[in-house]
Structure 1
């Protein structure tokens, strides 16, 4: 009898409804326990020291912590971090990356999130790491524009923003003239992979709160250009890194800790979460996505 994994991996890909179905005014819906279970649910699955809930980079790494640090070091290089810099982490998650950058590079950090559970966890984490980081329960639209940054980064967070164009415009106003914006995102390999709005929603919708709006690389670059930001570099990260992260780390951790995770949430949530991850593996296998890191700056642009 064919197992769940084999069924998912052999089913032809169909575009899924991954577009946002909420505005900032009703963001409290996506912050409910339905979408944000106990923080230990995610930290158990993603593992490692820094708990980065996105693709890690596995070249030369033998552990998840090393793979997470590989990715974070690429971010640091692109941001050109130096001691005393002030950086902004958009959608700071559980506080791992901002703690790492502050600890390793001597920078001062601000991390923002609209998820109460993440805010509490991340705030405690930066205190435990004794780093200069300010964790805020704040939406990016609410960031004061008299606070300027040397670098802004977002690790697979722009896809969850209802107003990506407004976000890039905000980044331009918040960056120093020689500052850096560095984002890492999955992009469709072709526009035909984009979902039709009348298609049935997939499991990811129920788990992630209808927040994912994937786009092609050229669409992302157009938004950056429209904001008056100057493109500096595009790096493609082999999608195999995502396969290893999801298949060898997250799904294995889920299976190894299924009882504990069911206790934190419930059996149905754990099953759906597992199926959602297998669904992403199928998309990686079917050449639906590429993974890019984009660096831009306001340098040389007219106000």
Structure 2
């Protein structure tokens, strides 16, 4: 028996519990184009699977359908590599999200190009989960999410708010236009900051290129949408201490973050290398430990299944736009981006990761907090 046949049999055995067949005829079956695929995946696990897809070594008609089945059957937990071990050791020994590394995520992901994100994100450049409770399309879901944040914070005209990790400034823009507030937004992305200043021109909104640890002023309320995933467990306590010193005594903080079902100290090797360097999804336990003694948890709202819908809409947008985008987004980049979006859909669909909005108060809301939905 040839070596690659032996590897193929081993891989097929691993895929069995997920009901995935090599070279099968169903949408979620894997079509293999290169014999080196089998030993590569068996040796490198998640990293090898993603890189092999980027290299065109395999395909599936329904990429998110395939990845969902693998995650739902926990096939990913059966294969580990030296890269996994190295990443675990590095995460344990070092603080990969300290001040020296804080701008790396901006440079490597959010600075890829505003043209890509304009094409993908819809009318509002909001790179986080929409709220689909009553929405029928992406733009409505994103506006509903922004309005939900404003209502949960009880924003009123004249208030001054802070957005930690403001992206392209859309949340502040929405809050200023609809609720009459002023505010400050900080980001570690030069491209985001430049466009955010354009989008917020004429509004009482200041956009800064700044690390959150440099904040030292007070606001009526604070929110952070899709940024906490880059803070890192070694910095969670310091992050919430910064938030507390940024709040007036009766202010609220809203944290909007993807979350993990279990406590981890690193991210998936492929995601860390190609999409979100130095990222880390918090668990509920890690958040609770970090806020203990600093805040009262007023509300914890989960709507992670809405992220699957959001990602599907992003994929449809970017697939329709590829031919109009610059040549630097070449075929390998496109396959990388497709794999990223499909893997994210699969993770939320399998309920392996969640989306939370957590409302915190420094001393507890007198009489209790009534959470809008």
Scaled to the shorter chain, the TM-score interval is 0.7 to 0.9
TM-score normalised according to structure 2 size: 0.71
Structure number with higher relative contact order (C-alpha < 8 Å, ≥ 6 residues apart): 1
Task: Give the deviation of 1:33 after TM superposition.
Answer: 5.2
Partner residue in 2 for 1:168: 240
Q: Which has the higher strand share?
A: 1
Q: 1:151 aligns with which of 221, 226, 244?
A: 221
Tell me, yes or no, if the aligned pair for 2:258 and 2:355 is still in contact at 8 Å.
yes
Q: 1:231 aligns with which of 294, 297, 306?
A: 297
TM-score normalised according to structure 1 size: 0.87
Tell me, yes or no, if the aligned pair for 1:203 and 1:272 is still in contact at 8 Å.
no
Q: In structure 2, do the counterparts of structure 1 residues 264 and 82 end up closer, same or farther at CA, with 3 Å as the change threshold?
A: farther
Paired residue secondary structure (2:107): coil
State whether structure 2 residue 109 is matched by structure 1 residue 45.
no
State whether structure 2 residue 123 is matched by structure 1 residue 55.
no
User: Which whole-Å deviations, capped at 9, do the CAs of 1:89-131 have from their partners, x for residues lacking one?
Assistant: 111101111101011000001000111111111011111xx21
Q: In structure 2, do the counterparts of structure 1 residues 95 and 52 end up closer, same or farther at CA, with 3 Å as the change threshold?
A: same
Structure 2, unmatched stretches of 5+, are 1-24, 30-59, 78-83, 366-373
Structure 1, unmatched stretches of 5+, are none
Q: In structure 2, do the counterparts of structure 1 residues 234 and 28 end up closer, same or farther at CA, with 3 Å as the change threshold?
A: closer
Task: Give the deviation of 1:8 after TM superposition.
Answer: 2.2
State whether structure 2 residue 92 is matched by structure 1 residue 92.
no
User: Which whole-Å deviations, capped at 9, do the CAs of 1:175-215 have from their partners, x for residues lacking one?
Assistant: 01100000112222234xx47x6x971145312223x2112
Task: Give the deviation of 1:262 after TM superposition.
Answer: 5.2
Which range moved further: 69-78 or 13-22? 13-22
Tell me, yes or no, if the aligned pair for 1:254 and 1:274 is still in contact at 8 Å.
no
Task: Give the deviation of 1:80 after TM superposition.
Answer: 0.8
State whether structure 2 residue 281 is matched by structure 1 residue 214.
yes
Paired residue secondary structure (1:187): strand
Paired residue secondary structure (2:125): coil
Partner residue in 1 for 2:209: 137
Tell me, yes or no, if the aligned pair for 1:186 and 1:290 is still in contact at 8 Å.
yes
Structure 1's consecutive aligned runs of 4 or more residues displaced over 4 angstroms after TM superposition are: 15-20
Partner residue in 2 for 1:105: 179
Task: Give the deviation of 1:28 after TM superposition.
Answer: 4.4
Paired residue secondary structure (2:315): helix
Higher CA-based Rg: 2
1:1-303 mapped onto 2 (5 Å cutoff): 1=25, 2=29, 3=60, 5=63, 6-12=65-71, 13=74, 14=76, 21-32=96-107, 36-48=111-123, 50-127=124-201, 130-144=202-216, 147-162=217-232, 163-191=235-263, 194=264, 201-210=269-278, 212-226=279-293, 228-237=294-303, 239-247=304-312, 249-261=313-325, 263=327, 265-299=329-363
Q: In structure 2, do the counterparts of structure 1 residues 298 and 114 end up closer, same or farther at CA, with 3 Å as the change threshold?
A: same
